[in-house]
Structure 1
Amino acid sequence: MPRIGLFGGTFDPIHNGHLHIARSFADELDLESVILLPAGDPYHKTTPRTAAHHRLAMAEIAAQADSRLAVSDCDIVRQSATYTHDTVQIFRQHFPAAELWLLIGMDSLLQLHTWHRWQNLVRQCRIATAPRPGSSLAQAPAQLQTWLAETLPQGRLHILQAAPLPISSSQIRQQLATGHTSPDIPPAVLGYIRQHQLYCHTGV
Protein backbone atom coordinates (compact mmCIF):
# COMPACT_ATOMS: atom_id res chain seq x y z
CA MET A 1 0.00 0.00 0.00
CA PRO A 2 1.55 3.32 -1.04
CA ARG A 3 1.94 5.96 1.65
CA ILE A 4 1.44 9.51 0.43
CA GLY A 5 1.75 12.76 2.33
CA LEU A 6 -0.13 15.99 1.64
CA PHE A 7 1.45 19.26 2.74
CA GLY A 8 -0.49 22.43 2.01
CA GLY A 9 0.68 25.96 2.55
CA THR A 10 0.76 29.45 1.17
CA PHE A 11 4.47 29.01 0.34
CA ASP A 12 4.96 32.75 -0.12
CA PRO A 13 7.78 32.06 -0.74
CA ILE A 14 8.65 28.43 -0.17
CA HIS A 15 11.79 28.22 1.98
CA ASN A 16 14.19 25.79 3.62
CA GLY A 17 11.95 25.46 6.67
CA HIS A 18 9.14 24.09 4.51
CA LEU A 19 11.52 21.68 2.81
CA HIS A 20 12.99 20.53 6.13
CA ILE A 21 9.54 19.67 7.46
CA ALA A 22 8.52 17.97 4.20
CA ARG A 23 11.62 15.76 4.28
CA SER A 24 11.12 14.96 7.96
CA PHE A 25 7.49 14.08 7.18
CA ALA A 26 8.68 11.64 4.49
CA ASP A 27 11.49 10.21 6.63
CA GLU A 28 9.52 9.59 9.81
CA LEU A 29 6.50 8.04 8.12
CA ASP A 30 8.38 6.28 5.30
CA LEU A 31 6.31 8.07 2.67
CA GLU A 32 6.77 7.35 -1.01
CA SER A 33 5.98 10.95 -1.83
CA VAL A 34 5.02 14.23 -0.24
CA ILE A 35 2.78 16.39 -2.40
CA LEU A 36 3.18 20.12 -1.84
CA LEU A 37 -0.09 21.99 -2.27
CA PRO A 38 0.30 25.76 -2.75
CA ALA A 39 -2.84 27.49 -1.53
CA GLY A 40 -5.36 28.93 -3.90
CA ASP A 41 -7.97 30.83 -1.92
CA PRO A 42 -7.97 29.40 1.62
CA TYR A 43 -11.12 30.54 3.40
CA HIS A 44 -9.41 30.87 6.80
CA LYS A 45 -6.50 33.11 5.76
CA THR A 46 -6.03 36.39 4.00
CA THR A 47 -5.43 36.26 0.27
CA PRO A 48 -1.79 35.41 -0.54
CA ARG A 49 0.17 38.43 -1.68
CA THR A 50 2.00 36.70 -4.56
CA ALA A 51 0.16 35.39 -7.62
CA ALA A 52 -0.63 31.70 -7.41
CA HIS A 53 1.25 30.80 -10.59
CA HIS A 54 4.45 32.25 -9.11
CA ARG A 55 4.04 30.39 -5.82
CA LEU A 56 3.34 27.20 -7.77
CA ALA A 57 6.44 27.69 -9.91
CA MET A 58 8.63 28.32 -6.87
CA ALA A 59 7.33 25.15 -5.20
CA GLU A 60 8.04 23.15 -8.35
CA ILE A 61 11.59 24.48 -8.47
CA ALA A 62 12.19 23.69 -4.79
CA ALA A 63 10.76 20.18 -5.14
CA GLN A 64 13.37 19.26 -7.73
CA ALA A 65 15.92 18.89 -4.94
CA ASP A 66 14.27 15.71 -3.56
CA SER A 67 12.75 12.94 -5.68
CA ARG A 68 10.15 12.27 -2.98
CA LEU A 69 8.67 15.74 -3.35
CA ALA A 70 5.96 16.55 -5.87
CA VAL A 71 3.72 19.57 -6.41
CA SER A 72 0.02 19.79 -7.23
CA ASP A 73 -2.01 22.77 -8.38
CA CYS A 74 -5.16 21.15 -6.99
CA ASP A 75 -5.95 24.00 -4.60
CA ILE A 76 -5.08 26.68 -7.13
CA VAL A 77 -7.25 25.60 -10.04
CA ARG A 78 -10.42 25.40 -7.97
CA GLN A 79 -12.37 28.62 -8.40
CA SER A 80 -14.24 28.45 -5.09
CA ALA A 81 -12.89 28.63 -1.55
CA THR A 82 -10.62 25.66 -0.89
CA TYR A 83 -11.35 23.41 2.05
CA THR A 84 -8.85 20.80 3.22
CA HIS A 85 -11.65 18.24 3.34
CA ASP A 86 -12.31 18.68 -0.38
CA THR A 87 -8.61 18.48 -1.23
CA VAL A 88 -8.21 15.21 0.67
CA GLN A 89 -11.32 13.84 -1.04
CA ILE A 90 -9.76 14.53 -4.44
CA PHE A 91 -6.59 12.65 -3.53
CA ARG A 92 -8.58 9.83 -1.97
CA GLN A 93 -10.33 9.42 -5.33
CA HIS A 94 -7.01 9.47 -7.20
CA PHE A 95 -5.32 7.05 -4.78
CA PRO A 96 -8.11 4.84 -3.36
CA ALA A 97 -5.69 2.24 -1.99
CA ALA A 98 -3.14 4.67 -0.55
CA GLU A 99 -2.49 5.46 3.08
CA LEU A 100 -2.92 9.22 3.02
CA TRP A 101 -1.24 11.46 5.59
CA LEU A 102 -2.09 15.13 6.00
CA LEU A 103 0.55 17.38 7.56
CA ILE A 104 -0.66 20.35 9.59
CA GLY A 105 0.89 22.52 12.29
CA MET A 106 0.12 21.86 15.94
CA ASP A 107 -1.67 25.20 16.15
CA SER A 108 -3.94 24.10 13.30
CA LEU A 109 -4.51 20.71 14.92
CA LEU A 110 -5.82 22.43 18.04
CA GLN A 111 -8.40 24.18 15.83
CA LEU A 112 -9.27 21.08 13.79
CA HIS A 113 -12.77 20.87 15.24
CA THR A 114 -13.59 24.22 13.56
CA TRP A 115 -12.65 22.99 10.07
CA HIS A 116 -15.19 22.24 7.37
CA ARG A 117 -16.42 18.62 7.78
CA TRP A 118 -13.50 17.81 10.03
CA GLN A 119 -14.91 14.53 11.31
CA ASN A 120 -15.21 13.17 7.79
CA LEU A 121 -11.76 14.55 6.98
CA VAL A 122 -10.07 12.50 9.71
CA ARG A 123 -11.80 9.36 8.42
CA GLN A 124 -10.31 9.93 4.98
CA CYS A 125 -6.69 10.35 6.08
CA ARG A 126 -4.23 10.15 8.93
CA ILE A 127 -2.85 13.29 10.52
CA ALA A 128 0.76 14.28 11.08
CA THR A 129 1.45 17.43 13.00
CA ALA A 130 4.53 19.61 13.15
CA PRO A 131 5.38 21.00 16.59
CA ARG A 132 4.97 24.72 17.10
CA PRO A 133 6.31 26.81 19.99
CA GLY A 134 3.62 27.31 22.61
CA SER A 135 1.29 24.62 21.24
CA SER A 136 0.83 21.08 22.58
CA LEU A 137 -1.80 18.34 22.71
CA ALA A 138 -2.39 19.24 26.36
CA GLN A 139 -4.12 22.38 25.07
CA ALA A 140 -6.61 20.44 22.95
CA PRO A 141 -10.20 21.63 23.51
CA ALA A 142 -12.88 19.29 24.78
CA GLN A 143 -14.27 18.88 21.25
CA LEU A 144 -11.05 17.09 20.25
CA GLN A 145 -10.32 15.09 23.38
CA THR A 146 -12.45 12.08 22.43
CA TRP A 147 -11.01 11.98 18.93
CA LEU A 148 -7.45 12.19 20.29
CA ALA A 149 -8.12 9.41 22.81
CA GLU A 150 -9.22 7.15 19.96
CA THR A 151 -6.71 8.28 17.35
CA LEU A 152 -3.42 8.12 19.26
CA PRO A 153 -3.63 4.38 20.12
CA GLN A 154 -4.64 3.58 16.53
CA GLY A 155 -1.54 5.21 15.10
CA ARG A 156 -3.60 7.66 13.05
CA LEU A 157 -1.89 10.71 14.53
CA HIS A 158 1.86 11.27 14.35
CA ILE A 159 3.75 14.12 15.98
CA LEU A 160 6.91 14.87 14.04
CA GLN A 161 10.08 14.48 16.07
CA ALA A 162 12.04 16.91 13.92
CA ALA A 163 12.14 20.42 15.31
CA PRO A 164 11.00 23.10 12.86
CA LEU A 165 13.60 25.56 11.63
CA PRO A 166 13.05 29.13 12.91
CA ILE A 167 12.36 30.59 9.48
CA SER A 168 9.59 33.08 8.72
CA SER A 169 8.16 33.79 5.27
CA SER A 170 7.24 37.31 6.34
CA GLN A 171 10.82 38.01 7.45
CA ILE A 172 12.11 36.67 4.15
CA ARG A 173 9.73 38.98 2.29
CA GLN A 174 11.01 41.91 4.35
CA GLN A 175 14.60 41.02 3.54
CA LEU A 176 13.87 40.77 -0.17
CA ALA A 177 11.85 43.99 -0.18
CA THR A 178 14.86 45.88 1.16
CA GLY A 179 17.18 44.46 -1.47
CA HIS A 180 18.82 41.79 0.65
CA THR A 181 19.16 38.11 -0.16
CA SER A 182 18.12 35.32 2.18
CA PRO A 183 20.10 32.16 2.99
CA ASP A 184 16.80 30.50 3.88
CA ILE A 185 15.63 30.21 0.26
CA PRO A 186 16.99 27.58 -2.15
CA PRO A 187 19.27 29.33 -4.67
CA ALA A 188 17.16 28.25 -7.64
CA VAL A 189 14.05 29.72 -6.01
CA LEU A 190 15.91 32.94 -5.28
CA GLY A 191 16.89 33.06 -8.95
CA TYR A 192 13.23 32.80 -9.94
CA ILE A 193 12.32 35.57 -7.50
CA ARG A 194 14.98 37.85 -8.98
CA GLN A 195 14.01 37.00 -12.54
CA HIS A 196 10.37 37.92 -11.94
CA GLN A 197 11.09 40.80 -9.53
CA LEU A 198 8.93 39.39 -6.77
CA TYR A 199 8.76 40.88 -3.26
CA CYS A 200 10.17 44.20 -4.40
CA HIS A 201 7.63 46.28 -2.47
CA THR A 202 7.91 47.20 1.17
CA GLY A 203 4.64 45.67 2.43
CA VAL A 204 4.66 42.19 3.95
Structure 2
Amino acid sequence: MAAVSVGIFGGAFDPPHVGHVELARVGTERFELDRLLVRVVEDPGHKEVSTSPQIRLFLAELAFAPLDEAEISLDPFPRTVDSLEALALDDPVFLLGADEFAALSSWKDPERVLALARLGVATRPGFARSRLDEVLAGLERPDRVTFFEIEPLPVSSSEIRSRVAQGQPIDGLVPPAVRAEIDRLELYRRVDRPEDGGMLRGEPTEGTTPT
Protein backbone atom coordinates (compact mmCIF):
# COMPACT_ATOMS: atom_id res chain seq x y z
CA MET A 1 0.00 0.00 0.00
CA ALA A 2 1.36 3.40 -0.97
CA ALA A 3 2.23 5.78 1.86
CA VAL A 4 -0.29 8.53 2.55
CA SER A 5 1.09 11.99 1.87
CA VAL A 6 -0.01 14.47 4.53
CA GLY A 7 0.24 18.25 4.53
CA ILE A 8 -0.31 20.77 7.31
CA PHE A 9 -1.48 24.35 6.93
CA GLY A 10 -1.83 26.36 10.11
CA GLY A 11 -2.83 29.87 11.01
CA ALA A 12 -5.06 32.15 13.02
CA PHE A 13 -7.50 32.49 10.07
CA ASP A 14 -9.03 35.67 11.50
CA PRO A 15 -10.70 35.50 9.02
CA PRO A 16 -9.61 32.96 6.36
CA HIS A 17 -9.38 34.61 2.95
CA VAL A 18 -8.96 33.69 -0.71
CA GLY A 19 -5.17 33.80 -0.41
CA HIS A 20 -5.24 31.11 2.26
CA VAL A 21 -7.47 28.92 0.12
CA GLU A 22 -5.31 29.39 -2.97
CA LEU A 23 -2.12 28.48 -1.07
CA ALA A 24 -3.80 25.36 0.29
CA ARG A 25 -5.18 24.37 -3.10
CA VAL A 26 -1.93 24.82 -5.03
CA GLY A 27 0.14 23.25 -2.25
CA THR A 28 -2.12 20.21 -2.20
CA GLU A 29 -1.67 19.79 -5.94
CA ARG A 30 2.07 20.52 -5.95
CA PHE A 31 2.89 17.93 -3.28
CA GLU A 32 0.14 15.46 -4.31
CA LEU A 33 -1.27 15.44 -0.81
CA ASP A 34 -3.83 12.85 0.19
CA ARG A 35 -4.73 14.79 3.33
CA LEU A 36 -4.31 18.43 4.31
CA LEU A 37 -4.64 19.17 8.01
CA VAL A 38 -5.84 22.76 8.31
CA ARG A 39 -4.98 23.75 11.87
CA VAL A 40 -6.72 26.77 13.39
CA VAL A 41 -4.39 27.99 16.13
CA GLU A 42 -6.42 28.62 19.28
CA ASP A 43 -4.05 31.17 20.80
CA PRO A 44 -1.37 32.31 18.32
CA GLY A 45 1.86 33.17 20.07
CA HIS A 46 2.83 35.80 17.51
CA LYS A 47 -0.35 37.83 17.03
CA GLU A 48 -3.57 38.93 18.65
CA VAL A 49 -6.90 37.66 17.36
CA SER A 50 -10.29 39.36 17.25
CA THR A 51 -12.56 36.32 17.42
CA SER A 52 -12.85 33.14 19.45
CA PRO A 53 -11.26 29.87 18.34
CA GLN A 54 -14.71 28.38 17.73
CA ILE A 55 -15.72 31.15 15.34
CA ARG A 56 -12.41 30.99 13.46
CA LEU A 57 -12.80 27.22 13.20
CA PHE A 58 -16.33 27.68 11.83
CA LEU A 59 -15.12 30.19 9.22
CA ALA A 60 -12.23 27.92 8.24
CA GLU A 61 -14.60 25.00 7.74
CA LEU A 62 -16.57 27.15 5.31
CA ALA A 63 -13.50 28.53 3.53
CA PHE A 64 -11.77 25.19 2.92
CA ALA A 65 -14.92 23.16 2.22
CA PRO A 66 -14.19 23.01 -1.55
CA LEU A 67 -10.92 21.15 -0.87
CA ASP A 68 -11.73 17.46 -0.52
CA GLU A 69 -8.38 16.77 1.13
CA ALA A 70 -8.83 19.39 3.85
CA GLU A 71 -9.48 18.33 7.46
CA ILE A 72 -10.07 21.33 9.71
CA SER A 73 -9.41 21.26 13.45
CA LEU A 74 -8.26 23.44 16.33
CA ASP A 75 -4.58 23.52 17.24
CA PRO A 76 -4.01 24.05 20.99
CA PHE A 77 -0.30 24.83 20.51
CA PRO A 78 0.84 28.43 19.91
CA ARG A 79 4.14 27.30 18.37
CA THR A 80 4.58 25.20 15.24
CA VAL A 81 7.27 22.93 16.65
CA ASP A 82 5.08 21.91 19.60
CA SER A 83 2.16 21.18 17.29
CA LEU A 84 4.34 19.03 15.03
CA GLU A 85 5.74 17.14 18.02
CA ALA A 86 2.22 16.33 19.19
CA LEU A 87 0.99 15.26 15.74
CA ALA A 88 3.98 12.93 15.29
CA LEU A 89 3.33 12.45 11.57
CA ASP A 90 5.62 10.62 9.16
CA ASP A 91 7.46 13.38 7.27
CA PRO A 92 4.53 15.72 6.52
CA VAL A 93 4.72 18.84 4.36
CA PHE A 94 4.13 22.04 6.28
CA LEU A 95 2.74 24.71 3.95
CA LEU A 96 3.49 28.37 4.54
CA GLY A 97 3.88 31.64 2.71
CA ALA A 98 7.10 33.37 1.75
CA ASP A 99 6.63 36.08 4.38
CA GLU A 100 6.42 33.47 7.13
CA PHE A 101 9.48 31.65 5.80
CA ALA A 102 11.44 34.91 5.72
CA ALA A 103 10.81 35.17 9.48
CA LEU A 104 11.76 31.53 10.18
CA SER A 105 14.68 32.49 12.42
CA SER A 106 12.19 34.01 14.89
CA TRP A 107 10.31 30.69 15.24
CA LYS A 108 10.79 28.43 18.22
CA ASP A 109 13.45 25.83 17.31
CA PRO A 110 13.29 26.13 13.50
CA GLU A 111 15.79 23.33 12.96
CA ARG A 112 13.56 20.96 14.93
CA VAL A 113 10.64 22.09 12.77
CA LEU A 114 12.64 21.04 9.71
CA ALA A 115 13.42 17.69 11.30
CA LEU A 116 9.73 17.03 11.91
CA ALA A 117 8.37 18.30 8.58
CA ARG A 118 9.40 19.38 5.15
CA LEU A 119 8.51 22.96 4.31
CA GLY A 120 6.49 23.85 1.23
CA VAL A 121 6.96 27.59 0.77
CA ALA A 122 4.56 29.48 -1.48
CA THR A 123 6.24 32.31 -3.36
CA ARG A 124 4.74 34.93 -5.61
CA PRO A 125 6.08 37.11 -8.44
CA GLY A 126 7.73 40.21 -7.06
CA PHE A 127 8.75 38.76 -3.71
CA ALA A 128 12.49 39.27 -3.22
CA ARG A 129 14.07 35.84 -3.65
CA SER A 130 17.21 37.14 -1.93
CA ARG A 131 15.28 37.24 1.36
CA LEU A 132 14.41 33.57 1.01
CA ASP A 133 17.91 32.56 -0.07
CA GLU A 134 19.34 34.28 2.99
CA VAL A 135 17.15 32.19 5.29
CA LEU A 136 17.89 29.05 3.30
CA ALA A 137 21.64 29.60 3.60
CA GLY A 138 21.38 29.66 7.39
CA LEU A 139 19.64 26.28 7.67
CA GLU A 140 21.34 22.98 8.44
CA ARG A 141 18.91 21.13 6.15
CA PRO A 142 18.03 23.43 3.23
CA ASP A 143 17.14 20.32 1.24
CA ARG A 144 14.01 20.07 3.42
CA VAL A 145 12.60 23.25 1.85
CA THR A 146 10.74 23.35 -1.47
CA PHE A 147 9.49 26.54 -3.09
CA PHE A 148 6.39 26.66 -5.27
CA GLU A 149 4.71 29.61 -6.93
CA ILE A 150 1.14 30.78 -6.45
CA GLU A 151 -0.88 33.54 -8.06
CA PRO A 152 -0.33 36.82 -6.20
CA LEU A 153 -3.46 37.77 -4.27
CA PRO A 154 -2.99 41.09 -2.45
CA VAL A 155 -5.12 40.35 0.58
CA SER A 156 -4.57 39.97 4.31
CA SER A 157 -6.77 39.17 7.29
CA SER A 158 -5.91 42.50 8.91
CA GLU A 159 -7.00 44.37 5.78
CA ILE A 160 -10.30 42.48 5.76
CA ARG A 161 -10.96 43.30 9.43
CA SER A 162 -10.18 46.94 8.75
CA ARG A 163 -12.47 47.08 5.73
CA VAL A 164 -15.36 45.54 7.65
CA ALA A 165 -14.83 47.96 10.55
CA GLN A 166 -15.02 50.86 8.08
CA GLY A 167 -18.11 49.51 6.36
CA GLN A 168 -16.25 48.74 3.12
CA PRO A 169 -17.05 45.69 0.96
CA ILE A 170 -14.94 42.54 1.14
CA ASP A 171 -16.40 40.74 -1.86
CA GLY A 172 -13.69 38.80 -3.66
CA LEU A 173 -11.34 38.91 -0.66
CA VAL A 174 -12.96 36.04 1.25
CA PRO A 175 -14.97 33.04 0.03
CA PRO A 176 -18.67 33.94 -0.36
CA ALA A 177 -19.73 31.65 2.50
CA VAL A 178 -17.25 33.36 4.82
CA ARG A 179 -18.45 36.81 3.80
CA ALA A 180 -22.05 35.78 4.47
CA GLU A 181 -21.22 34.59 7.99
CA ILE A 182 -19.14 37.69 8.78
CA ASP A 183 -22.25 39.70 7.92
CA ARG A 184 -24.66 37.42 9.76
CA LEU A 185 -22.59 37.22 12.93
CA GLU A 186 -21.64 40.91 12.73
CA LEU A 187 -17.94 40.13 13.06
CA TYR A 188 -15.17 42.74 12.95
CA ARG A 189 -17.54 45.67 13.16
CA ARG A 190 -16.43 48.70 15.12
CA VAL A 191 -18.56 49.54 18.14
CA ASP A 192 -18.32 52.79 20.04
CA ARG A 193 -16.53 52.77 23.36
CA PRO A 194 -15.68 56.21 24.70
CA GLU A 195 -12.82 54.94 26.82
CA ASP A 196 -10.85 53.52 23.91
CA GLY A 197 -12.26 55.31 20.88
CA GLY A 198 -13.95 52.22 19.50
CA MET A 199 -13.02 48.58 19.13
CA LEU A 200 -13.62 45.72 16.75
CA ARG A 201 -16.59 43.51 17.48
CA GLY A 202 -15.15 40.02 17.45
CA GLU A 203 -18.04 37.99 18.82
CA PRO A 204 -21.53 37.38 17.45
CA THR A 205 -24.53 39.00 19.08
CA GLU A 206 -26.64 36.89 21.42
CA GLY A 207 -28.57 34.17 19.68
CA THR A 208 -26.43 34.11 16.52
CA THR A 209 -23.75 31.57 17.42
CA PRO A 210 -22.69 29.30 14.56
CA THR A 211 -24.25 25.85 14.37
Choose from 100, 118, 122 the match for 1:108: 100
Residue matched to 2:151: 163
Choose from 52, 72, 84 the match for 2:80: 84
Determine if contact 2:23/2:150 at 8 Å carries over to the other structure. yes
Between structure 1 and structure 2, the one with the greater Rg is 2
Task: Give the paired residue count.
Answer: 189
- Aligned mates of 2:108, 2:174 — CA distance in 1: 33
Identify the structure with the greater helix proportion: 1
Question: Shift in Å at residue 99 of structure 1?
Answer: 3.3
Choose from 161, 168, 192 the match for 2:181: 192
Question: Shift in Å at residue 197 of structure 1?
Answer: 0.9
- Aligned mates of 1:177, 1:103 — CA distance in 2: 30
- What amino acid is the match of 1:198? L
Residue matched to 2:208: none
**What fraction of aligned residue pairs are identical, expressed as a percent?**
28
1:148-200, Cα deviation, whole Å (9 max, x unpaired): 6x433xxx211112233111222222222233432221121122112211011
C-alpha spacing 1:33/1:182, structure 2 compared with 1 (3 Å): same
Q: Structure 2 stretches of 5 or more lacking a match?
A: 191-197, 201-211
- TM superposition outliers: structure 1 runs of 4+ over 6 Å: none
After TM superposition, the structure 1 = structure 2 runs for residues 37-52 of structure 1, keeping only pairs within 5 Å, are 37-45=39-47, 47-52=48-53
- Aligned mates of 2:132, 2:38 — CA distance in 1: 28
- Aligned mates of 1:185, 1:108 — CA distance in 2: 20
Choose from 108, 115, 118 the match for 2:110: 118
- What amino acid is the match of 1:8? G
C-alpha spacing 1:175/1:107, structure 2 compared with 1 (3 Å): closer
Choose from 119, 125, 130 the match for 1:127: 119
- What amino acid is the match of 1:151? P
- Aligned mates of 1:108, 1:180 — CA distance in 2: 28
| TM-score of the aligned structures, taking structure 1 as reference length | 0.81
| TM-score of the aligned structures, taking structure 2 as reference length | 0.79
- In angstroms, what is the RMSD of aligned CA positions? 2.3
SS at match of 1:147: coil
- What amino acid is the match of 1:194? D
- Aligned mates of 1:172, 1:139 — CA distance in 2: 27
Question: Shift in Å at residue 131 of structure 1?
Answer: 1.7
Residue matched to 1:11: 13
- What amino acid is the match of 1:129? V
Question: Shift in Å at residue 140 of structure 1?
Answer: 4.5
